[in-house]
Structure 1
């Protein structure tokens, strides 16, 4: 018989990259010597790739809450939520999250990816699922594991979405699936357009707020609140690994929907529950999000400084004002050279290559957090200018 492992070969281009000094992945971080900085390869560099937007992963209160929970409840729960792995802490976090986001109920799971997979039972055989072209891989996996007919609409193209809704079988249920803040480009979904179409066609709206919950809106509730349309969001998923500075995730929505998922979502039913340390850390972070809006204000001000600085350097920056910006390089090797050049300048950014982005759209993603000072943002801009001059001009995200 053919060796089943014979397929386990990287493409030739990837093999060459892996063997080169330009390989941009799995770089181990050795420490955190200062705010907004990490140590890699024994060097102190500026972290410009983290999604820890509110800089809560290193907040003393968050770390203390996690440590106390470990001492009191152990390092793990060794069981699924449905059997023996539910903690009182989980239920407290669920109650506070539901109240915070304006939903009836919430279910806490162990990762943000898992929160997406928990949606699978919502995508039934009598449904059509209309997903933005740029939704996260975890949401696509949930769509493929579900049984709904999947249709993709062009990114934020409401004309295309309207056409897909118009030709959908009226006897089927319709669900529109989008991210609130898109993870690669940092742009926002057109929630006003989606909500209007959903109302006309009796469709449900599901938003993944992995990157925007905690960051956007007057109270930090995400893209829905930012647009003044939080009530138009039927189901909202979040992760704790961005603004909340720890690990875990949750899905929130109407009580009967969450109860249904508790008893039918295999991703949650057959997985060990979120450890106490992460749960306590997320609870503490949620309290900080609710009571310290200045953190959001600080990172969004820094984001504006970054974006205006990139415009001054000649980049055509799209509107949005979020802390994440992607610079489209195009060619994979050139993108890795740009990434390596930034690292030489003391900047750790993200190289986004296919399949994370479409073919021919390799890009450098930079993110800033509330920990970054104005001087550090200027340092990032200076490094981008230097490397652009060395590697050659590139375009910003289209």
Structure 2
């Protein structure tokens, strides 16, 4: 018999979420998550996936994964520190270090795990973290887990960061100071001001930490935001995911060899979770080989991103200040934004609405994620749907 207290808690809170329009109905995709998807037996142009380079359905990665299963099986069989470290994991980490331009790298089971692992392995209750106000939830949770003092600075506001860095350093209360930022911010598509952050950090001997989940494979000719600014020698932690542009699943931290050795000895998700599966490791290795040796997919991604941006702007939509292929179409009021997304759905375009509390009130947007796998025909159909819905709703 289940607990009455639990049932009362769940039922009342679920009802409240539904009444406030905050309960997320999950759409089940039938088949692969590619440039088009099928939901309820209907085909949609897919503009809500992080599969930036189209590698999630790439035949070369599928072959690599299947070959790995034949040799290694479907699971790694243990945590890395017992006997779960396969030669595939070592090859993956070598490729990641080469890809990010660092001495070494460590692979984790997810990008979220990276932030839970790396921050708390280095920072503790005697330290302070200066965190961009728009950082991803996994960064926020990783900071909380560390028990360090957390001070947010206004989004990409370098004057505010410099002021708070000075206050933290001058206080004499903290052993270590860390600045944490996303490389690319997923809601607006803007890029962190890494050169300014490095300058501030070097003035006061501050640790630098960049989560480049949405930048790796996208910025810097595909090598990421740190490489985009040529700061591989200046950033202490480069965090990334294998589930977005790389097209598989997992995450990693890249940096100096002594940092990676410490994370292998002290980061709890590495110590207590079974290693990344052989198929995922092999597919990730193949993806990294492709990106290290060719910028073709990256160029396609940017071409498609710029094409969609130009089309939406020409129609009269507000696409914000995006500097990457991530293209928000800012509608404003929450219910209108949600209705706009539903009307696009009716036209065969799957582009999810994002509203408060994920973004500030009055800045609701439909976020578009064009990929290298989209065709111009798909993007033209998308623009036609935007024009039709925008005019019918009186937004154009």
TM category, shorter:
over 0.9
Alignment of 1:87-106 (within 5 A): 87-106=86-105
Task: Look up the match of 2:182.
Answer: 179
What is the distance in 2 between the residues matched to 1:377 and 1:230? 35
Task: Look up the match of 1:62.
Answer: 61
What is the distance in 1 between the residues matched to 2:331 and 2:276? 38
The Cα shift of 1:382 comes to: 1.7
Aligned 8 A contact 1:112 1:238 in 2: yes
1:312 equivalent to 2:311? Answer no
What is the distance in 2 between the residues matched to 1:392 and 1:204? 49
Q: Deviations over 1:337-362 (max 9, x none)?
A: 12211110101112224443344443
Aligned 8 A contact 1:303 1:321 in 2: no
Task: Look up the match of 1:287.
Answer: 289
Unmatched runs of 5 consecutive residues or more in structure 1? none
TM-score (norm 2): 0.92
Aligned 8 A contact 2:318 2:329 in 1: no
1:121 equivalent to 2:124? Answer no
The Cα shift of 1:245 comes to: 0.6
Aligned 8 A contact 1:192 1:227 in 2: yes
The Cα shift of 1:17 comes to: 7.2
Aligned 8 A contact 2:213 2:244 in 1: yes
Aligned residue among 192, 195, 204 for 1:192: 195
The Cα shift of 1:376 comes to: 1.4
What is the distance in 1 between the residues matched to 2:75 and 2:338? 38
1:324 equivalent to 2:323? Answer no
Task: Look up the match of 2:107.
Answer: 108
Task: Look up the match of 1:234.
Answer: 236
What is the distance in 2 between the residues matched to 1:5 and 1:262? 41
Task: Look up the match of 1:138.
Answer: 138
Q: Deviations over 1:105-153 (max 9, x none)?
A: 1111111111111122222222210111111101100000002110001
What is the distance in 2 between the residues matched to 1:340 and 1:318? 21
Task: Look up the match of 2:156.
Answer: 156
What is the distance in 2 between the residues matched to 1:80 and 1:25? 35
Q: Pairwise CA RMSD of aligned residues?
A: 2.2
Aligned 8 A contact 2:130 2:153 in 1: yes
3-state DSSP of counterpart to 1:83: helix
After TM superposition, the structure 1 stretch with the greater mean CA deviation from structure 2, 62-71 or 259-268, is 259-268
What is the distance in 2 between the residues matched to 1:131 and 1:338? 33
What is the distance in 1 between the residues matched to 2:26 and 2:77? 28
1:78 equivalent to 2:80? Answer no
Aligned 8 A contact 1:307 1:321 in 2: no
Task: Look up the match of 1:211.
Answer: 214
The structure with the largest helix share of the pair is: 2
What is the distance in 2 between the residues matched to 1:153 and 1:79? 40
TM-score (norm 1): 0.92
What is the distance in 2 between the residues matched to 1:54 and 1:222? 13
Instruction: Go from structure 1 to structure 2 and tell me whether the alpha carbon gap of 1:350 and 1:230 turns closer, same or farther (over 3 Å shift).
Output: farther
3-state DSSP of counterpart to 1:51: coil
3-state DSSP of counterpart to 1:300: helix
The Cα shift of 1:216 comes to: 1.2
The Cα shift of 1:320 comes to: 4.1
Q: Deviations over 1:278-331 (max 9, x none)?
A: 000000000111122011111101111111112112123344441111223344
Aligned 8 A contact 2:254 2:260 in 1: yes
What is the distance in 1 between the residues matched to 2:274 and 2:216? 24
What is the distance in 2 between the residues matched to 1:123 and 1:383? 48
Aligned residue among 268, 271, 277 for 1:269: 271
What is the distance in 1 between the residues matched to 2:19 and 2:344? 21
Q: Deviations over 1:49-80 (max 9, x none)?
A: 11111111111100100111112111112321
Q: Deviations over 1:26-54 (max 9, x none)?
A: 10110249x62111110111011111111
Aligned residue among 229, 251, 254 for 1:252: 254
